[in-house]
Amino acid sequence: MLTITQALYDQIVAHARADHPDEACGLIAGPEDSDRPERFIPMRNAARSPTYYEWDGDEHNQVDKEMRRREEDVIVVYHSHTATEAYPSRTDIDRAVEPFAHYVLVSTADTDDMGPFQFRSFRIVDGTVTEEEVTVV
C-alpha cells in the first residue's frame, strides 16, 4: 500500500496536468530504508513526448547525488499517460529498475469512462505488475 500526503498527491497531479499533452515524470524521495514519501522532485521529460518519457541524464545524476547526500531513497517513481489509462505499458515495465519503489501513474486522458484523471500505484518486480491501494492522508 502507498500512503501519501494530500500535498504530494496534489503536486503529482498538478505536474501531470501542467505538462499535458506531454508525459510528466518525477520522483518522490524519502529517508533511506523507509517507505515514507516526503520530498517531491519533478523532473524534465527530455523526450517532450505525449507517449514516452525519458529522464534528462544530467538532471537525473544531480538528483541522485543530492539524494545520496541527504541519505534518501527513491520511494515513488511517477509519470503520466496522456491518452491512455493509468496502467504500466510494456516500456514502463521494462524500465522499472527500483524493486522497492511505488510506480505511480496518472492519466490525464479526458474520456467519459475514465474521468478527468486516474491516480494509481503499482509495484513492478521482475516484470510482474501488482496494483496496490493508495491512501491519501
| Size of the chain in residues | 137
Residues 6+ apart with CB under 8 A from 131: 120, 121, 122
How many domains are there within the chain? 1
Say what the pLDDT of residue 76 is. 98
Report percent pLDDT > 70 for the chain: 94
- Calpha distance 24→57 (Å, rounded): 16
- Containing structural domain, residue 67: 2-136
Nearest to 104 by CA among 92, 114, 115, 112: 92
Nearest to 95 by CA among 127, 118, 123: 127
Please compute the mean of the pLDDT values over residues 64-86 and round it to a whole number: 95
Report percent pLDDT > 90 for the chain: 83
Give the pLDDT confidence of 3-60 residue by residue, as tens digits.
999 999 999 999 999 999 999 999 999 999 999 999 999 999 999 998 989 999 999 9
- Calpha distance 13→61 (Å, rounded): 24
- Say what the pTM is: 0.92
- CATH number at 30 reads 3.40.140.10
Distances (CA, A) of 68 to 58, 61, 71, 101: 16, 11, 5, 16
Please compute the mean of the pLDDT values over residues 91-103 and round it to a whole number: 93
123 pLDDT more than 80: yes
Question: What are the cell numbers at 50?
Answer: 505525449
115 pLDDT tier (thresholds 50, 70, 90): low
- Calpha distance 43→36 (Å, rounded): 20
